[in-house]
Homo-oligomer: A and B are copies of this chain.
Amino acid sequence: MSQDNTQVKLAARPKGEPKSSDFEITTGPVPAPGDGEVIVEVEYISLDPAMRGWMNEGKSYIKPVELGDVMRALAAGRVVQSNDPAFAEGDYVTGQLGVQQYAVARGKDLSKVDTSLAPLTTYLHVLGMTGMTAYFGINEVGELKEGENVLISGAAGAVGSIVGQIAKIKGCKVVGIAGGKEKCDYLINELGFDDAVDYRSEDVYKGLKRACPEGVDVFFDNVGGDILNAALTRLRMHARVVICGAISQYNNTEAPKGPSNYMSLLVNRAKMQGMVVFDYADRYGEAAKEMAGWMQAGKLKHKEHVVEGIDRFPEHLMMLFRGENFGKLVLKV
């Protein structure tokens, strides 16, 4: 290819908040694709809290990004050259394409998507990992049952807002925790949540007492820290706590704060269980079909927050940790 490729590579393991100097931006030629490989022109990069964890050394649910490697990212784009007979130029695909303009990828690691059914970004969102995380997290790990009381932290975020809408579809009472009046109003007025707690203007313990007087059957946690701790005080008997993330703790330089109220699990015979969406890969199709149906029926709304400038990747990413995004954060390349 004659085109040059801009790539964002991990240059240092961040201590605390990632900063620009933790990344190196390089420009160079796009290598020729090998047998079974394609070149994808990346159009949208998904910015996710989990990316912060991928920058750390050490054992986790997925290998860390190596220093010097292109930063791992889920992304969507268009095939511009193909050595895989299953892909033609012009096909739209998603996959772990990384933070770069052009990705050379094996065809078998990519998923073809149909942009006539839904816009490309939807496949990074409701019909992508975000949606799958919400779907399997609340249904499988949360064991959601009709009419239950559901509480969600990070409720205006990409995953949280889908979790809440799925719970509403299932006839549950849904309360969201979010930062700021605008987000709380959005949850109630746009997404149909029953109530919201604004952790920026209200003591969360008191807010949860007010909004969840009967306690909660399922708490879906994206945030961790004090919010998890407060939510544990509201568990009902046999409650389920879904540990999807802990965005409040990802940039800690010290050990995260443990949930000191965990003995509520004993008192209420409750469980707290972690989830990683990849475990449900063989059932993504089933979930996407149901989610697409809900979207078409107008029951599943979504909001995107699009930012531009691949060279400003670290500052865009930090918006997630500062609660500055409103909707699913995607980086337009």
Chain A residues close to B by CB (< 8 Å): 59-61, 224, 229, 243-246, 249, 255-276, 279
Other A-B pairs, 4, CB within 8 Å; known A61-B267, A243-B265, A266-B274? A259-B259, A267-B276, A270-B273, A270-B274
Partner of A263, one of B246, B267, B269, B271: B246
Residue on B with the closest CB to A246? B263
Instruction: Kindly state the separation between the CA atoms of A276 and B266 in the bound complex, as whole angstroms.
Output: 7
- Counting chain B CB atoms within 10 Å of each CB, which of A246, A263, A267 scores highest? A263
CB distance from A135 to the nearest CB of B (A): 16
Contact status A269-B274, CB under 8 Å: yes
Contact status A269-B265, CB under 8 Å: no
CB distance from A1 to the nearest CB of B (A): 38
- Give chain B residues whose Cβ lies under 8 Å from the Cβ of A261: 255, 258
Instruction: Kindly state the separation between the CA atoms of A246 and B60 in the bound complex, as whole angstroms.
Output: 27
Copies in the complex: 2
- Give chain B residues whose Cβ lies under 8 Å from the Cβ of A259: 258-259, 262
Q: Name 14 interchain pairs, CB-CB below 8 A, sorted by A.
A: A60-B267, A61-B266, A61-B268, A246-B263, A255-B260, A256-B262, A258-B258, A258-B261, A266-B275, A266-B276, A268-B274, A269-B274, A271-B272, A272-B272
Contact status B269-A276, CB under 8 Å: yes
A-B pairs with lowest CB-CB distance, top 7: A258-B258, A266-B274, A265-B274, A258-B260, A271-B273, A258-B259, A255-B260
- Give chain B residues whose Cβ lies under 8 Å from the Cβ of A243: 262-263, 265-266
- Give chain B residues whose Cβ lies under 8 Å from the Cβ of A246: 263, 266
- Give chain B residues whose Cβ lies under 8 Å from the Cβ of A267: 59-61, 274, 276
Residue on B with the closest CB to A256? B260
- Give chain B residues whose Cβ lies under 8 Å from the Cβ of A245: 266
Partner of A265, one of B256, B270, B272: B272
CB distance from A261 to the nearest CB of B (A): 7
Partner of A249, one of B244, B257, B263, B279: B263
CB distance from A209 to the nearest CB of B (A): 13
- Give chain B residues whose Cβ lies under 8 Å from the Cβ of A229: 258
- Give chain B residues whose Cβ lies under 8 Å from the Cβ of A249: 263
Contact status B263-A274, CB under 8 Å: yes
Instruction: Kindly state the separation between the CA atoms of A262 and B271 in the bound complex, as whole angstroms.
Output: 13
- Counting chain B CB atoms within 10 Å of each CB, which of A61, A229, A257, A266 scores highest? A266
- Counting chain B CB atoms within 10 Å of each CB, which of A267, A268, A276 scores highest? A267
Residue on B with the closest CB to A278? B269
Instruction: Kindly state the separation between the CA atoms of A224 and B262 in the bound complex, as whole angstroms.
Output: 10
Instruction: Kindly state the separation between the CA atoms of A275 and B267 in the bound complex, as whole angstroms.
Output: 8
Contact status A273-B272, CB under 8 Å: yes
- Give chain B residues whose Cβ lies under 8 Å from the Cβ of A257: 258, 260
Contact status A265-B255, CB under 8 Å: no
Contact status A269-B262, CB under 8 Å: no
